[in-house]
């Protein structure tokens, strides 16, 4: 169904794997999927081409976007079938407010599925995630667990083995820099 979906979770909750499985499912049913990721995510390129890659080994080529990228204009430049096309955005927290609004307008015609984090390492909403919460018709949490077994809700950033709560909002990384934690463990380890 054509609408705007926001699927979010803490670090390590399989957001990218689920985005790639969703892409596979749509393609298996004959849909064309426009898979996007922000150019700021430079972790994965294969033979110089941008790739969305999950920790469990799933991957797919993708289209990179920057802060000034216009989704509406891009889609207009493509020869696509409104009945059989879908947009999937990985790392959607890095979308701008304007880009989310563009995707909302696109979702009046084709499904737009956005996967990403809700909050940064300071427990504050990302700009893109905030606007997605305001505009998405469907908001789903992808749950994961903390090391203690509780539900992970915080994206803790580590530096030299210690949790940090100061610094630039964006520091690209995965398991080597971040860990999904419950708020209780976040508070406990933050003060050590």
Catalytic residue numbers read 91
DSSP alpha helix (H) spans, 122-191: 127-135, 183-190
Three-class secondary structure assignment of 14-69: CHHHHHHHHHHHHHHCCCEEEEEEECCCCCCEECCEEEEECCCCCEEECEEECCCC
CA distance 131 to 118: 10
- Contact assessment for residue 180 and residue 152, using Cβ atoms and an 8 Å cutoff: yes
DSSP 106: H
CA distance 10 to 150: 12
- Residues contacting residue 71 through CB under 8 Å, at least 6 positions apart: 36, 65, 87, 99, 102, 103, 106
Q: Which tokens in the block code for residue 173?
A: 């990384």
- Residues contacting residue 170 through CB under 8 Å, at least 6 positions apart: 40, 94
- Contact assessment for residue 43 and residue 174, using Cβ atoms and an 8 Å cutoff: yes
């Amino acid at each position: 169904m054509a609408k705007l979906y926001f699927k979010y979770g803490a670090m390590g909750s399989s957001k990218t794997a689920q985005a790639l499985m969703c892409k596979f499912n749509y393609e298996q049913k004959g849909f064309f999927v426009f898979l996007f990721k922000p150019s700021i995510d430079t972790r994965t390129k294969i033979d110089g081409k941008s790739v969305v890659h999950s920790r469990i080994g799933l991957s797919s080529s993708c289209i990179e976007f920057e802060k000034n990228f216009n989704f509406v204009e891009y889609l207009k430049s493509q020869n696509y079938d409104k009945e059989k096309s879908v947009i999937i955005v990985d790392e959607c927290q890095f979308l701008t407010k304007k880009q989310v609004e563009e995707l909302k307008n696109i979702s009046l015609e084709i499904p737009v599925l956005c996967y990403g984090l809700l909050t940064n390492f300071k427990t504050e909403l990302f700009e893109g995630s905030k606007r997605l919460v305001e505009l998405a018709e469907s908001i789903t949490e992808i749950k994961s667990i903390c090391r203690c077994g509780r539900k992970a809700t915080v994206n803790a950033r580590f530096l030299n083995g210690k949790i940090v709560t100061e610094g630039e909002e964006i520091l690209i990384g995965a398991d080597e820099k971040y860990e999904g934690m419950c708020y209780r463990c976040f508070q406990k380890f933050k003060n050590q």
